[in-house]
């Protein structure tokens, strides 16, 4: 038997409309900046898709309120939003670190290997949170609020996210100290990182309260500290993204003329003289 539309359902409907628009923008950003060098934009696409799926699963509970799997899917897809926010920041800071290395003779405090390890750690956190969410003890109150007892895996995942957010803040501070090495047009990326880190921090506090403190959030608590934090951060990413120039490959080798062969120089001089004669 279908249940009446509650506040969580209304928020879910709102999210479907907003994140559908964001998904289009994120795909355009990936196309604009090239999928192979799209930095954090791919994670923005994944975040939009995860949020649309999450909200759709919540709306599906209207006609099937007794299906616990729908609630689990809703909670799990919502929960990985924090990890994806951090991953977007990691990807965008990777773009800035490449600029720093190019301007600093290939040197930077944060190496490409460190960046790859950070991405691997975040992927691990996402997997742990998904597995933990499916193993959690779910109970839905009559007013639609989820009461969840999370297992150790979920707590480990959130702990990893806490550590990675701290790492992201430290990387952002480092990039601010070497700001002069970043091209002027790219400095807007650093601005986006600093603007979104507070929202990611609030979002992290929300997840910590739920997973560690077994807090049962109200719909409006979820809207303010979870949903809106991600919506505002994604808006900042997209606005900044559309103002950036397309990233160009700077790592291609430059072909230099070989000046060590005198005979070749003489031959090239003759060819040049012949060309000038023909032009006359």
221, with CB counted inside 10 A (0-12, 13-18, 19+), is middle
**pLDDT, position 246:** 74
Highest mean pLDDT among 34-43, 66-75, 163-172: 163-172
If you average pLDDT over residues 135-147, what whole number do you get? 83
- Kindly report, residue by residue over 5-26, the tens digit of the pLDDT: 889 999 999 999 999 999 999 9
DSSP state, 280?
-
- Kindly report, residue by residue over 224-252, the tens digit of the pLDDT: 999 999 999 999 999 999 998 776 655 43
Measured CA angle at 188 (ends 37, 186), to 5 deg: 50
**Residue 153 and residue 135: Cα distance in Å, rounded?**
9
Point out the least confidently predicted range of 30-34, 69-73, 114-118, 271-275. Answer: 271-275
Contact 163, 90 (CB under 8 A): no
pTM of the predicted model, to two decimals? Answer: 0.84
**pLDDT, position 188:** 93
The residues, any chain, with a CB within 8 Å of residue 109's CB and separated by 6 or more, are: 174
**Residue 65 and residue 36: Cα distance in Å, rounded?**
42
């Amino acid at each position: 038997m279908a249940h009446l539309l509650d506040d969580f359902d209304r928020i879910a409907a709102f999210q479907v409309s907003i994140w559908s628009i964001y998904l289009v923008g994120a795909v355009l950003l990936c196309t604009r900046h090239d999928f192979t060098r799209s930095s954090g934009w791919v994670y923005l696409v994944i975040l939009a898709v995860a949020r649309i799926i999450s909200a759709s699963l919540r709306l599906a509970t209207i006609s099937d309120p007794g299906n616990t799997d729908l609630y689990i899917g809703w909670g799990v897809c919502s929960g990985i939003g924090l990890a994806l926010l951090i991953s977007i920041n990691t990807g965008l800071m990777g773009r800035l670190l490449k600029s720093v290395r190019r301007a600093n003779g290939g040197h930077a405090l944060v190496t490409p290997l460190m960046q790859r390890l950070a991405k691997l750690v975040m992927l691990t956190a996402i997997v742990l949170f998904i597995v933990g969410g499916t193993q959690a003890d779910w109970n839905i109150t009559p007013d639609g609020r989820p009461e969840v007892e999370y297992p150790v895996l979920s707590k480990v995942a959130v702990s990893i996210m806490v550590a990675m957010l701290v790492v992201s803040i430290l990387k952002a501070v480092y990039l601010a100290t070497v700001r002069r090495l970043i091209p002027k047009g790219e400095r807007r990326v650093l601005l986006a990182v600093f603007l979104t880190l507070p929202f990611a921090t609030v979002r992290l506090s929300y997840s910590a309260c739920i997973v560690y403190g077994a807090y049962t959030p109200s719909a409006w608590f979820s809207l303010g500290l979870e949903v809106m934090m991600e919506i505002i951060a994604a808006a900042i990413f997209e606005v900044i993204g559309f103002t950036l120039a397309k990233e160009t490959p700077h790592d291609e080798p430059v072909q230099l003329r070989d000046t060590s062969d005198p005979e070749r120089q003489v031959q090239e001089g003759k060819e040049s003289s012949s060309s000038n004669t023909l032009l006359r």
